[in-house]
Amino acid sequence: MKVRDILHTKGATVITTTPDATLHDALRTLVDSRVVTLVVIDPAGKVVGIITERDLLRVCAELNGEIDRLRVADWMTTHLIIGVPRDEVGYIMGIMTHNRIRHSPIMDDGRLEGIISIGDVVKAQLEETEFENRYLKDYIQRQ
């Protein structure tokens, strides 16, 4: 199974923000959209980072200040670990696990194609394993 199969099932909608948005704006977008991760897009449409609910919690714990005065650009993760649609699900699962990340933007030729979570990857792996198990059981029973 490929990452593109996950995106085909899940959809390619990605909730985004900008580097100049305040952390309060980012938090509001997370809550309103019922997501836990925002991809940060610059004015030219280039992916420049990612910010998560955990990042926002860390800021609140460290600064105990007003998040409506802080910018996303100053707190986002800029070293992104991305996937591509042709990646095998097992490969991206290994990359995400090794790097201890929960979300990975999926890029193709510099374009944002979607975002997947470790939960999406685990679900896809379980579905594939269930299909293979059922196929093998049917095969054995026919022998």
- List, in order of start, the domains of the chain with CATH numbers: 3-142 (3.10.580.10)
pLDDT band, very low/low/confident/very high, at 143 (cuts 50, 70, 90): confident
Query: Angle CA(112)–CA(57)–CA(21) in degrees, nearest 5?
Result: 50
Q: pLDDT at position 63, please?
A: 83
| pTM of the shown model | 0.85
Q: pLDDT at position 119, please?
A: 94
Q: Which of 17-26, 51-60, 92-101, 125-134 has the lowest mean pLDDT?
A: 125-134
pLDDT band, very low/low/confident/very high, at 133 (cuts 50, 70, 90): confident
| Cα–Cα distance, 75 to 26 (Å, whole number) | 11
Q: pLDDT at position 96, please?
A: 96
Q: pLDDT at position 35, please?
A: 95
Residues 21-67 pLDDT 10s: 999 999 999 999 999 999 999 999 999 999 999 999 999 888 876 78
Q: Where are the alpha helices (DSSP H) in 1-143?
A: 3-10, 23-33, 53-63, 89-98, 118-142
In this prediction, residues 90-104 reach a mean pLDDT of 95
Q: Which of 131 and 58 is assigned the larger pLDDT?
A: 58
The CA distances from residue 74 to 22, 41, 105, in Å, are 10, 14, 20
Instruction: Tell me the pairing of strands 16-17 and 37-41.
Output: parallel
CA end-to-end span of the chain, whole Å? 27
